[in-house]
Structure 1
């Protein structure tokens, strides 16, 4: 990538993008570094979780007791369910640390403290083991990449306002480990499982940091940030591999080899062997039946795959194979059957797809598409038994990616025009028409599908962010309207005032208050000034008979009052014609008020003991621009039309254009209600399905929880808002069964877990 940045000396930085940012914003030169780091860390985390099952399955297979084995299986389940939240939580923490680089608290960035022998006795054993493991990982990276990390820290210090060291560097191993620990805090696993996960983090994430540091230094140097500071180049330009050198003396971090992963299939076979008679009734076979080879089985499956690709979803593979074998037996004169190992593979894949067809998380229209992948998946399993034990297997990942992308699909969507449906259909069609015996097609389709969903996700995330911003702005405006309502009602409800004043305050001055609330806040001088003007206006039109001090105040108040009202309305850009009408009527009101003063003063007489000498009316009023001496002189002694008075009985409600303020549901639930707990367990990114009228179902994702209003905002898979609920309203919907959460854990892993659970139950029964 070319850059026009000029080379600068060691102590200078490019003036346009490298000096310390005054406003606390991330310097321009750091933005591509942050984006590159987040992308690489995301890929590394995906590799970690793709391989976590393999490592935990190996440990479960080596377990010395059923209890220990179950602990590992439970850990696998917990990790699958929380995978997405851990990934997103870790990346959000890393991004947040970058965002805070120029803020005052940068010196307090999360740092792992070294273990002190003085306080070892205060730590429990698990915490001690965890700290020791993390300190060892940090020390290893610091020793291996100290030069590149040091140079990166120097360059960052040239860009930001506060100083960093290697331990507080946002890409340093200490900060990354702390972020990973925080993201994993919800995992309910034993310390030995945690240590396995830490080792996987070291293997798939920390081992790639040297390459990341080199690239970051290279990017900053090219942008003109201390280009004379020479850092080590990246190790190689070849694509990054997630297979670093293995750690010695740690069996669970060894490279997963063929024999180790085969143990997963062996474990499944053992479970199958104990239930074959009940779960899978044995077919009657001649004693001299000859098992066909796996190659012959592949040819038969390919025949089924191509004979009716569109009907593959309804194809009973076992029955069709039996028909083909019967024909083959008739031709050869000897009974031909499927071998026991391949029979087990067929049964396992059949059980997996039974789960998929029953899965409520997949929409029915896409189930039909996905189920057509059964024969290609069966062929992969026949070719490669690691299909069952390797989480990173391309065929498994393709199925998981399709299911994950399908989570937000609605059955009422137009399948022919929807790009996702069309893409999945293309993938399935290619598998059915092109896959013979080379599993490499799954890798090609996986890469293509991930690229497609990546583009779709970027578009939906942009729209989702705009939706969040708009809703947060709307929530802020709603709170401001409620505050303005409260101030208006506190002053007007129960009073009888001229109708023009009530209309002016409700229709015009409320907008001035709202604008000041949004722009300056309730603690501002502008907000309090607008409230004071409203109080003065109300006071100026109320009767003050027998109050000579009040009459004097009125004469002094009106000019500035009218000036403040005029300036406030002009600042709110209100319609000049409407405001002119208001001022004309206010003028009439105040003329009447002054005429009343004149009459009262005349009646009281100058000899009254409590009389107050009035100033010249012209001097007091003409400054406001609304009244002058001539208007008072010409005004009739008794007004022909007294002002229309109105008693404010009902509370004023201010609504935005098109807004309908919904009341809370009549049903209120107790704080310990299970439905409220379900709502509180929702997090941004959770998918739910809402039963609408009739058979219509709405699938949507929680995009934001607005703290100001307590509203839950849901969007569809394109990022567009489709639902808004309060906490109590959502809990009521959960209570009556109209809302249910969708499981976004990996489809294949959920299916495999279900198969294992079913086989164990059958074995016990």
Structure 2
């Protein structure tokens, strides 16, 4: 057998080792056998799923759709299953031969082809991405070790997702491709994808483990380990292979790291991070510098906490009953003035447990109402006094009051934060009581940037900032509401639960980000397609206007050339280019139509009449290409054109001018939408104010990805600059979910910036808790009139 090798960019050397080929053949059989069984199981649930859907159908028409689809799927099931397994086998064949298929994208599609990409096709691409992402998130360890072992087989090169026949994306894409030949209704396809995910993609976890064991048994990297290691300088998470037998690979998968809660209130993060770094192995020079930076950051955080505590105590002593932040007083302001004893930490936790239980009971009614800080303090004070053996004689101790006040100021800040949409502020405000328990148990939440509770609150807030203002934020809002409810109902002090929730939110946002990127890329590609269409239309209009210059054809001929034949020229240019015979022939047809619309001498007239039938046939072919006409409409138009020619040549222009024909709107022109040239052009830059002209110059350096707040459709929207049209000189903006939302000319944007109808949003890089502590520190400095020790 001859193996094939190629130097193509999309290829790698074929796998020549016969032992490896046999090993892969056995693995392929295992995969195909498993997938064959599972896809059969998936289709076995179709009837029941469609029956249930039919029972709940909103109309008779929808119910009929479900029943008809049931029969259609039964008849096509075998074909789909065979095609799916055939594609899986072809993926293996390509891998053995060293072929790497190019990634799927919309680059290189012509404008007319791009306009035909249906929304349902895009939705299917999202289905594939989402299913694959779920598997990848679940199987980080198994996939990493499997890829390393496949790299040994694959001539030392780790296969990409596009080449790896075991990759979740390849398997999901094979199912999508198998469905592509069948015109099922989008709702039916959605159900098939859900069943495929439940019964096929769900089996990959166990399959990857089995495949890894098979390769281990064959002696391929039997000692390869996958271990998690916390980076000493940042809260990011990374993992690296522990064995030096794995092939070199610059890419390392992300992995959740385990972190033990720091229960010593006065202990900083630096020592713990240093211990973690040393336990993971020796430190390189770079690691040592990072460790030093982490230790310095931890020391600064501890100093900040010390300064804050000092300022809180100063304010409490200066004005015991005055608000310490906003309108909220210190917890000490509620204490009896003659109290000498302090509540124990156990009494405080018991009171907070009761408050949390009460909050959990009332949450369904209160979840959409912000929980203010002052009522929480009032309720805590009342509960403590009610359950005290010496009511009216006991107070909250100063150390505990510092923590309670600082947590209260943090949640006051959240309710005032302009970066967060109101409904996200409301949701986060309900975490006040659980975070009081966390801070009283572990003050490191204020000093350790990597504390699980701090990281969760930062991540929840960041999600709200990035996606909370989007029209499509319902899934995110529901997710965050679920997480808040889970904390209130189930949190008993275990920080591992918060760690898990933070990782779950990261996974959710990864999918959200990918979906937004796909939506935005599709919007940009569609805009580029319309740009090519617009350029082609301008070229065609220019050619027609040149040939009409100095001519005065009947209105029918002029309108036909300017409104309809332009589309034929555009179509030819996009498909074949301006040098093509089709484009040149379409121009000649235009010239002949103009020629026949003016009186001709005998010789020229005879020649025109001899080619008139052929000319009208060419007009028919052009109209059939671009569409928009029924056969009867084409026949009537050709008859009107012929009558017009006869009237002109008979020197009866008044008859030619009376011939009316309602031409349909331009099919290609309607595809331009907002990108079409404006009927009333924007104010030229020369008429702008001096300030607006200065803004216009600033826009020249504007980068894609810049965020704006723009007043649009009677409300302020947060939009991202995604694309600029060199032809129309217009900017395209997308919302936080990636959808095209607004198109503005440079002049319009400059005027909006000058009139404060738009403003550029500087990215907020500091996490929520960091911003809150900095702001609280400055407020306390101002109201106490005291400059504490330097803090960051």
**703-712 vs 535-544, which moves further:** 703-712
Partner SS, residue 724 of structure 1: strand
Structure 1 residues 657 and 461: alpha-carbon distance in aligned structure 2, compared to 1, 3 A threshold: closer
Separation in structure 2 between the aligned mates of residue 740 and residue 467 of structure 1, nearest angstrom: 23
- Structure 2 partner of 1:575: 630
- Structure 2 partner of 1:16: 94
Q: Which has the larger radius of gyration?
A: 1
Partner SS, residue 598 of structure 2: coil
Separation in structure 2 between the aligned mates of residue 318 and residue 678 of structure 1, nearest angstrom: 50
Partner SS, residue 313 of structure 1: coil
Q: 1:273 aligns with which of 296, 306, 310?
A: 310
Number of residue pairs the alignment of both structures matches = 542
**Superposed CA offset, 1:583-609 (max 9, x none):** 33444455567x77xxxxxxxxxxxxx
Q: By how many angstroms is 1:313 displaced?
A: 0.9
| More relative contact order, 1 or 2 (CA 8 Å, 6+ apart) | 1
**Superposed CA offset, 1:219-242 (max 9, x none):** xxxxxxxxxxxxxxx999997779
Q: By how many angstroms is 1:523 displaced?
A: 4.9
Is the 2:589–2:619 Cα contact (8 Å) retained in structure 1?
A: yes
Structure 1 residues 237 and 349: alpha-carbon distance in aligned structure 2, compared to 1, 3 A threshold: closer
Structure 1 residues 354 and 21: alpha-carbon distance in aligned structure 2, compared to 1, 3 A threshold: same
Separation in structure 1 between the aligned mates of residue 710 and residue 563 of structure 2, nearest angstrom: 41
**286-295 vs 720-729, which moves further:** 286-295
Separation in structure 1 between the aligned mates of residue 421 and residue 434 of structure 2, nearest angstrom: 21
Structure 1 residues 530 and 367: alpha-carbon distance in aligned structure 2, compared to 1, 3 A threshold: same
Separation in structure 2 between the aligned mates of residue 678 and residue 279 of structure 1, nearest angstrom: 50
Separation in structure 1 between the aligned mates of residue 721 and residue 397 of structure 2, nearest angstrom: 48
Structure 1 residues 22 and 391: alpha-carbon distance in aligned structure 2, compared to 1, 3 A threshold: closer
Structure 1 residues 677 and 238: alpha-carbon distance in aligned structure 2, compared to 1, 3 A threshold: closer
Q: By how many angstroms is 1:380 displaced?
A: 1.7
Q: By how many angstroms is 1:427 displaced?
A: 1.9
- Structure 2 partner of 1:394: 452
**716-725 vs 326-335, which moves further:** 326-335
Is the 2:523–2:739 Cα contact (8 Å) retained in structure 1?
A: yes
1:708-723 equivalences in 2 (<5 Å): 709-723=728-742
Partner SS, residue 424 of structure 1: helix
**Superposed CA offset, 1:467-493 (max 9, x none):** 444333334333333333333344436
Q: 2:427 aligns with which of 366, 369, 372?
A: 369
What is the alpha-carbon root mean square deviation over aligned residues?
A: 5.4
- Structure 1 partner of 2:744: 725
Is the 2:233–2:294 Cα contact (8 Å) retained in structure 1?
A: no
- Structure 1 partner of 2:240: 208
- Structure 1 partner of 2:476: 420
User: Is residue 447 from structure 1 mapped to residue 503 from structure 2 by the alignment?
Assistant: yes
Is the 1:293–1:339 Cα contact (8 Å) retained in structure 2?
A: no
Partner SS, residue 722 of structure 1: strand
Is the 1:497–1:645 Cα contact (8 Å) retained in structure 2?
A: no
Q: By how many angstroms is 1:502 displaced?
A: 1.5
Is the 2:458–2:768 Cα contact (8 Å) retained in structure 1?
A: yes
Is the 1:679–1:730 Cα contact (8 Å) retained in structure 2?
A: no
Partner SS, residue 16 of structure 1: helix
User: Is residue 245 from structure 1 mapped to residue 277 from structure 2 by the alignment?
Assistant: no
- Structure 2 partner of 1:356: 414
Is the 2:233–2:290 Cα contact (8 Å) retained in structure 1?
A: yes
Q: What TM-score do the two structures reach when normalised by structure 1? A: 0.57
Is the 1:276–1:282 Cα contact (8 Å) retained in structure 2?
A: no
- Structure 2 partner of 1:152: 156
Separation in structure 2 between the aligned mates of residue 338 and residue 675 of structure 1, nearest angstrom: 60
Structure 1 residues 683 and 245: alpha-carbon distance in aligned structure 2, compared to 1, 3 A threshold: farther
Structure 2, gaps ≥5 residues long: 1-13, 22-91, 106-124, 138-148, 165-230, 259-275, 321-332
Q: 2:775 aligns with which of 733, 754, 764?
A: 754
Separation in structure 2 between the aligned mates of residue 678 and residue 292 of structure 1, nearest angstrom: 61
1:303-702 equivalences in 2 (<5 Å): 303-308=354-359, 310=363, 313-316=371-374, 317-323=376-382, 331=390, 334-340=393-399, 342-407=400-465, 418-492=474-548, 495-543=551-599, 554=608, 561-562=615-616, 564-573=618-627, 574-590=629-645, 642-644=655-657, 655-656=669-670, 659=673, 662=678, 663=680, 665-666=682-683, 668=688, 673-674=694-695, 677=698, 681=702, 683-684=704-705, 686=707, 688=709, 690=711, 692-693=713-714, 696-702=715-721
Separation in structure 1 between the aligned mates of residue 620 and residue 244 of structure 2, nearest angstrom: 61
**Superposed CA offset, 1:142-177 (max 9, x none):** xxx9x9799534989x999xxxxxxxxxxxxxxxxx
Q: What TM-score do the two structures reach when normalised by structure 2? A: 0.55
Q: By how many angstroms is 1:689 displaced?
A: 5.3
Separation in structure 2 between the aligned mates of residue 212 and residue 454 of structure 1, nearest angstrom: 30
Structure 1 residues 327 and 489: alpha-carbon distance in aligned structure 2, compared to 1, 3 A threshold: same
Separation in structure 2 between the aligned mates of residue 304 and residue 202 of structure 1, nearest angstrom: 32
Partner SS, residue 673 of structure 1: helix
User: Is residue 299 from structure 1 mapped to residue 335 from structure 2 by the alignment?
Assistant: no
Is the 1:357–1:367 Cα contact (8 Å) retained in structure 2?
A: yes
Structure 1 residues 394 and 688: alpha-carbon distance in aligned structure 2, compared to 1, 3 A threshold: farther
Is the 2:340–2:395 Cα contact (8 Å) retained in structure 1?
A: yes
Is the 1:711–1:725 Cα contact (8 Å) retained in structure 2?
A: yes
Structure 1, gaps ≥5 residues long: 1-6, 44-144, 161-197, 218-233, 597-637
Separation in structure 1 between the aligned mates of residue 728 and residue 253 of structure 2, nearest angstrom: 52
Partner SS, residue 433 of structure 1: helix
Separation in structure 2 between the aligned mates of residue 149 and residue 752 of structure 1, nearest angstrom: 53
Is the 1:684–1:705 Cα contact (8 Å) retained in structure 2?
A: no
Separation in structure 2 between the aligned mates of residue 235 and residue 533 of structure 1, nearest angstrom: 62
Q: By how many angstroms is 1:747 displaced?
A: 2.8
**9-18 vs 558-567, which moves further:** 9-18
Structure 1 residues 524 and 269: alpha-carbon distance in aligned structure 2, compared to 1, 3 A threshold: farther
Separation in structure 1 between the aligned mates of residue 580 and residue 632 of structure 2, nearest angstrom: 30
Structure 1 residues 549 and 293: alpha-carbon distance in aligned structure 2, compared to 1, 3 A threshold: farther
Structure 1 residues 259 and 509: alpha-carbon distance in aligned structure 2, compared to 1, 3 A threshold: closer
Structure 1 residues 329 and 293: alpha-carbon distance in aligned structure 2, compared to 1, 3 A threshold: closer
Q: By how many angstroms is 1:15 displaced?
A: 4.8
Structure 1 residues 750 and 271: alpha-carbon distance in aligned structure 2, compared to 1, 3 A threshold: closer
**Superposed CA offset, 1:166-210 (max 9, x none):** xxxxxxxxxxxxxxxxxxxxxxxxxxxxxxxx99699976x7378
**581-590 vs 427-436, which moves further:** 581-590
Structure 1 residues 245 and 287: alpha-carbon distance in aligned structure 2, compared to 1, 3 A threshold: farther
**734-743 vs 273-282, which moves further:** 273-282
Separation in structure 2 between the aligned mates of residue 159 and residue 281 of structure 1, nearest angstrom: 70
Separation in structure 1 between the aligned mates of residue 588 and residue 317 of structure 2, nearest angstrom: 83
Separation in structure 1 between the aligned mates of residue 547 and residue 636 of structure 2, nearest angstrom: 23
Partner SS, residue 152 of structure 1: coil
